[in-house]
Amino acid sequence: MTNPIRVQVVEDDEGMARALRVNLQARGYEVAIASSGADALTQLARNPADLVVLDLGLPDIEGVDVIAALRAWSAVPILVLSARQGDSDKVQALDAGADDYLTKPFSVEELLARLRAMLRRASTATPEAPVVRTDDFTIDLQHMKVVRNGADVHLTRLEWGIVEVLVRNPDRLVTGKQLLTKVWGPAYADATHYLRVYMMQVRKKLEPDPSNPRYFLTEAGFGYRFVP
Ligand code: CA
């Protein structure tokens, strides 16, 4: 028997916390509940989790600050829940190191799918340089080589930078700020118009139908996601 996967739920809404517990336990997850940010950090320090589901609206510490505190010592995948209408808190959470987000209300199936995807990523994450293969192109990260339909594809330095960051984070939402910071540098963190232009070039070179991308997806207001 393998150990159950432990999920730390951080949610002050009792009804929601109970619903999460019931649904996750029914799928074989072990569940711990914290009702505040401070409680969550204490519990996680004592008893590390495999996944964290974090409500952004907590009574004590801002969800974003919980993420930042946790990221100081833990790489545990974090799924953020938000009831808020605005997107800025979610973007902040992602910038702070959350892995994905769901807006309330959400379906249990959607939540479970996100958690499974996060676990898959956590278990297959390769810091080395892998070769990424899709139905339409192959990207050799070590040799910085892209092949499509048997022919080499030339990417400019910045195009390669974008592709590399996204491909190294399959299925993961990467915020515009994260991409700009990694590829252009911190001074360009807000230059989202650059991204739009370069992403268009990347799609022209790699997507079978650039105006209807299937690999390099835009999540409007958030960032980009590479779906292999
Ligand atoms: Ca709340």
Can you tell me the distance from the alpha carbon of 54 to that of 44, in angstroms, rounded to the nearest whole number?
12
How far away, in angstroms, is 91 Cα from ligand 1 center?
17
Please name the residue that has the structure tokens 């004590």: 60
How far away, in angstroms, is 174 Cα from ligand 1 center?
24
- Under a CB-based contact definition with an 8 Å cutoff, are residues 58 and 83 in contact? no
Please name the residue that has the structure tokens 């953020």: 80
Asked if the model's pLDDT at residue 50 lies above 90, the reply is: yes
Contact partners, residue 175, CB within 8 Å, separation at least 6: 91, 94, 95, 222, 223
> Is residue 68 located within the same domain as residue 100?
yes
pLDDT score at 128: 58
> Is residue 53 located within the same domain as residue 92?
yes
Check which CATH number belongs to the domain holding 97 and give it: 3.40.50.2300
> Is residue 151 located within the same domain as residue 58?
no
* Total domains present in the chain: 2
Query: Span 74-87, mean pLDDT?
Result: 85
Neighbours of ion ligand 1 (CB under 5 A): 12, 55, 57
Helix (H), strand (E) counts: the chain: 8, 12
Q: What is the mean pLDDT of the chain?
A: 91
pLDDT score at 208: 96
Residue 1, in any domain of the structure: no
How far away, in angstroms, is 213 Cα from ligand 1 center?
35
> Is residue 60 located within the same domain as residue 140?
no
Which 8-state DSSP code applies to residue 32?
A: E
Q: Which residues pair with 219 in a beta bridge?
A: 223
How far away, in angstroms, is 63 Cα from ligand 1 center?
9
Which tokens hold the place of 11?
A: 């949610």
- Domain of residue 18: give its range: 6-124
How far away, in angstroms, is 27 Cα from ligand 1 center?
24
> Is residue 152 located within the same domain as residue 194?
yes
Of the residues 124, 148, 167, the one at which a domain ends: 124
How far away, in angstroms, is 56 Cα from ligand 1 center?
7
Check which CATH number belongs to the domain holding 202 and give it: 1.10.10.10
pTM, full prediction = 0.72
